[in-house]
Amino acid sequence: MTVPLSTLVPAGLGLFLIAALVSAGLCSLARKYAPRLGLLDRPGGHKGHKAPVPLGGGIAIWITTGLSLGLALAALPYLPKSLSQHTAGAAAQSGELLLILSTATIIMIMGFLDDRYDLDWRIRISVQFGCAAAVVIGGVRITLFGPFTHPLLGGMVTVLWIAGLTNSFNMLDNMDGLAAGVGLVVSLVFCMAQIAVGGLFAPGVLLVIAGALAGFLLHNHAPARLYMGDAGSNYLGFLLGSLTVAGTFTRENYSPYSVLAPLLVMAVPLYDMTSVIVIRLREGRSPFQADRRHFSHRLVAHGLTPPQAVWTIILVTLASGMGALLLHRLDAVGALVVLAQTASLLGVVAILEFSASRTDNGDGETRRG
């Protein structure tokens, strides 16, 4: 039985608002107590901010996600029948959700330790791949077509996908409001793409994440008063990467090409990560050595202010992701057109980056989120 919009919209809005309010409150507490606990991001090196900024936003996002989802699951039996009838289905998927949240928590702890002690990149990568592998072993893996239907190949692609997105959001956390803003857009677009194919589990979780990020952005927009830190950016990337795999994109009467939706919505974060790694390798540096070579920095080099650069990237993310809302209705030709459109958009991004690389040596000042 399909949940009517008259019930679905208020329930979804309620999830979003509750998470946003909880997150905003916890972020206020983080701003107050993080300095007392020594959780500060201090200026220096490649960082562009001028004064120490409290960390702890990532922990607030983490607590908000778990608390809001727990409240939502507890309240589900008491909601209107069109929603409460899905209690059994939610219970069946609770094990999958617990697995994702548990491994994401390990990632958050790893990021927190990295914020405090600057962990070696080999340790970070090992933890990321280990947690991604645990998710796959637990039964969460990409379901595609052709040779990717083989469990082993699908599992390998899933591990690479989740670990890649974890790193992409960590790298994206380089200007005030950027990682959280992109994460908010990604969460909402994925939510709508899932609702379009009849999903309820993933959309509910995505709305909670979106609400948590909205509450955090009240403290993180330029000039930021709170950062999510590596704890937050790693947690966010891992969680979104896992949910795009756990979500249902293939159902009867819908196009099989809807499974490409995650690739469209994540196109900009993945492109930013890939291009930065290529640039660093070409310059003979470690791909894990932080610098100012990202798309956002090139926009600043072209004369945009950091807030303008952030909004540009958010809008490009939205533009590339909107095609995902149509994939479930398209045949092979239509899906190819949407993919070509996104590729063309990224081509414009590549031209901007190449042009900026001729005029900027990577030393422009920025803020991080």
Average pLDDT along the chain: 84
Exposed/middle/buried for residue 190 (C-beta within 10 Å: 0-12, 13-18, 19+): buried
Beta bridge partners of 54: 40
Q: pLDDT-based confidence at 353, cuts 50/70/90?
A: low
Q: Is the pLDDT of residue 315 over 90?
A: yes
> Which pTM does this prediction carry?
0.88
Structure tokens of 37?
A: 């606990």
User: What share of the chain has pLDDT > 70, as a percent?
Assistant: 83
Per-residue model confidence as pLDDT tens digits over 80-135: 676 666 565 666 677 888 999 999 999 999 999 998 888 999 999 999 999 999 99
Q: Which residues contact 343 (CB under 8 A, 6 or more apart)?
A: none
Structure tokens of 315?
A: 């809008």
Q: Is the pLDDT of residue 73 over 60?
A: yes
Structure tokens of 79?
A: 């909601």
Residue whose C-alpha is closest to residue 153's, from 139, 163, 143, 164: 143
The structure tokens 């990295």 sit at: 114
Query: Between these two residues, 298 and 182, which has the higher pLDDT value?
Result: 182
Q: pLDDT-based confidence at 226, cuts 50/70/90?
A: very high
Q: Is the pLDDT of residue 363 over 70?
A: no
Q: pLDDT-based confidence at 362, cuts 50/70/90?
A: very low
In whole angstroms, what is the distance from residue 114 CA to residue 167 CA?
Answer: 13
Q: pLDDT-based confidence at 333, cuts 50/70/90?
A: very high
Would you say 25 and 195 are in contact if contact means Cβ atoms under 8 Å apart? no
